[in-house]
Structure 1
Amino acid sequence: MKVGLIVDSACDLPHEFIRKHGIFILPLTAKIDNRTFVDDHDPATTQDFYDQGLLDKGHQAETEAFSAEQIRDLFLQKIVPNYDVAICETVDRSRSKIYENATEAMNMVMAQANTVRAQAGIEGNFTMRVIDSKQLFAGQGLLAAYTLGLLEKGLSKNALRHQVETFSQKLWICVVPRDLHYIRERARRRGDKSVSGVAAFLGKALNITPVIWGRGSVGKPAAKTRSMDAAVEKVMDYAVRRIQAGLLTPTVSLSCGMNWDEIEALPGLDRLKQACADNGVELLLSRMGITSSIYIGPGSICLSLAAEDHEFED
């Protein structure tokens, strides 16, 4: 039985990791300055997006999930003929219509899948599940990495779904946005009032850079610093402490909305790499894809790890 893992393009993972494990990317689209980008994590497309400085205009971008019909066609062409079981993990359903559309597409696919397989001379039935990851970006990436480990155990679909959903509740995320004005403008265009104009003004006027921390996609300001570097240092220190205290899975996911030379120069990254090496933890270090970089903004970072309940400053 061949099992395939599908994630949407809001999921941040290293390209080599995606390629190595055969993870299928369900694309989203982004429109900026009358140009449309299909974000399927293609490295060349992502590099072009960064090189042209389009991320600086990301607050003006319109991001859109593929329709149920588009997803259906994609699944029938790429997934049904190649896998017996497919697991599709989507970004938190409150942030995108991708879960809703993928679920609708799944129902349409299930009505046609066996016919498609029979016409292709493939024996056996096809089945799939769509799971709301309740995560964003690096958190989605960490959940996907965990799911790959479960797939190797040959669990039933129901057992797999239960373990994925249970584990998702143990994921913690840190986000450091470089520009609160960017996030405020993005939120305004999306009708999200969670970032106030006052907070954005203070962040700009006083050079306050917050660390947003919490479980899954629900976060709160855990620290306020006077510079991006100071905020990044706090996140790196937090991750090192949690690694030394013991993680629930030996993986940390870190995605960054910047070029690789800037990523490698991040303060505290060397300490994080050393802590991972000393404790047998895999660091999934990636550059943010188009979707997540538009959402959080240029120069931002997102880190995720799995741990028991704790406080940011433990």
Structure 2
Amino acid sequence: MRMGLTMDAACDLPQAFLQEHRITVMPITVKVDGETFMDDRDPAEIQRFINRRLGSRSHSAETEPTSAEEVQQLFLERLVLEQDCVFSLTITATRSPIHDNVVRASFAVLRGYREVREPAGVNGPFLMRVIDTRNIFAGAAPAVFEAARLIAADEAPATIRERLNHIANHSYGYMLPRDLYYLRARAKKKNDRSVGLFSAMLGSALDIKPILRCFRGETGPVGKARGFEQGAQQLFDYAAARVRAGLLVPMVCASYGGDLAVLSHLPGYAGLRTACEECGVTLMEAPMSITGMVNVGEGAVTLGFAAEEHEAAF
């Protein structure tokens, strides 16, 4: 059985990994001050966004995830001919409508695929399975990584689906923002009360940075640090400890909202790299999506891994 993968653009993974596993990215249109960016994880488009240095204006951006009609078109015009089963992974449904869009499209795809496949001489049924990773940005990476591994191992679709749902329920996504005022302005635009004005003012005045966590679709602070560099040290030290404690998927993904070379110079990152090397864990580095930078601000770090349920300790 030919099996494939799609994911939405807000899942942070390296371009080389996407190309190696022929993962189709469902794009997000981002409009800022009259400019339009197509967020499909194309490194050139991400760099164009960074080079434009839109700064504080980006928080007012409009984002338009792939619609149900566009997902349906993608599948019926291409994917139902190229594959016999496709797993579509999305960021958490609590933060984006893309999951609901893909689910709605799946009903039309599963009703109409025979009219496309049979005239092309493609026999047999077509399967489409939609998975909510229950996480965001780098936190969605473990489920996509595991899906690619299981497909390469030619596991049965039912086995893959069960495993991916398990990984989604045990994926942890962490974020360290640079600019709390930006984060609050964006949250306010989206009617998200997770970052209050008082917290933003206090944090900026004292240079206190929150460490935020997304777990099973819920996002909130789990730690704080005096300054961005101390926050990076705490986050990477914590991730290194989790690597040594054992992961459900042998990978950690780190993404950065800007020049990716900055990651290796942040305090604690070398220790995380060493822990991954010693434990046989793949450490993946990815540029944050344009959508991610619009929502949390440039210069933020996100990090994702899958592990047994545990309490955050910062």
TM-score, normalised to structure 2, is 0.95
Task: Give 1:175-194 correspondences, 5 Å limit.
Answer: 175-194=175-194
Q: 2:28 is matched by which residue type in structure 1? A: L
Q: 1:146 is matched by which residue type in structure 2? A: E
Q: 1:32 is matched by which residue type in structure 2? A: V
Task: Give 1:1-314 correspondences, 5 Å limit.
Answer: 1-54=1-54, 56-213=56-213, 215-313=215-313
**Cα offsets for 1:219-264 (capped at 9, x unmatched):** 3322221210000000110011111122222111111111123223
Q: Residues 217 and 255 of structure 1: is their aligned pair in 2 closer, same or farther, counting only changes over 3 Å?
A: farther
In 1: Cα distance, 2:56 partner to 2:147 partner:
34
Three-state SS of the structure 1 residue aligned to 2:41 is coil
Three-state SS of the structure 1 residue aligned to 2:102 is helix
In 2: Cα distance, 1:192 partner to 1:219 partner:
11
In 1: Cα distance, 2:93 partner to 2:157 partner:
21
Q: 1:140 is matched by which residue type in structure 2? A: A
Deviation at 1:70, TM superposition (A): 1.4
Preserved CA contact (<8 Å) 1:177 1:296: yes
Please list every run of 5 or more consecutive structure 2 residues that lacks an aligned counterpart in the other structure.
Answer: none
Deviation at 1:118, TM superposition (A): 1.9
User: What is the aligned-residue RMSD (CA, Å)?
Assistant: 1.6
Deviation at 1:120, TM superposition (A): 2.2
Deviation at 1:71, TM superposition (A): 1.4
Q: 1:128 is matched by which residue type in structure 2? A: M
Of stretches 26-35 and 49-58 in structure 1, the one that deviates more from structure 2 is 49-58
In 2: Cα distance, 1:186 partner to 1:83 partner:
39
Please list every run of 5 or more consecutive structure 1 residues that lacks an aligned counterpart in the other structure.
Answer: none
Deviation at 1:148, TM superposition (A): 1.5
Deviation at 1:218, TM superposition (A): 2.2
Deviation at 1:55, TM superposition (A): 5.2
Q: Residues 265 and 166 of structure 1: is their aligned pair in 2 closer, same or farther, counting only changes over 3 Å?
A: same
Percent of matched pairs sharing the same residue: 37
Deviation at 1:54, TM superposition (A): 3.0
In 2: Cα distance, 1:204 partner to 1:196 partner:
12
Preserved CA contact (<8 Å) 1:55 1:294: no
In 2: Cα distance, 1:116 partner to 1:219 partner:
41
Deviation at 1:308, TM superposition (A): 1.9
Of stretches 145-154 and 178-187 in structure 1, the one that deviates more from structure 2 is 145-154
Of stretches 119-128 and 133-142 in structure 1, the one that deviates more from structure 2 is 119-128
Runs of 4 or more consecutive aligned structure 1 residues displaced over 6 Å after TM superposition:
none
TM-score, normalised to structure 1, is 0.95
Of stretches 130-139 and 2-11 in structure 1, the one that deviates more from structure 2 is 130-139
In 2: Cα distance, 1:151 partner to 1:135 partner:
21
Preserved CA contact (<8 Å) 2:137 2:173: no
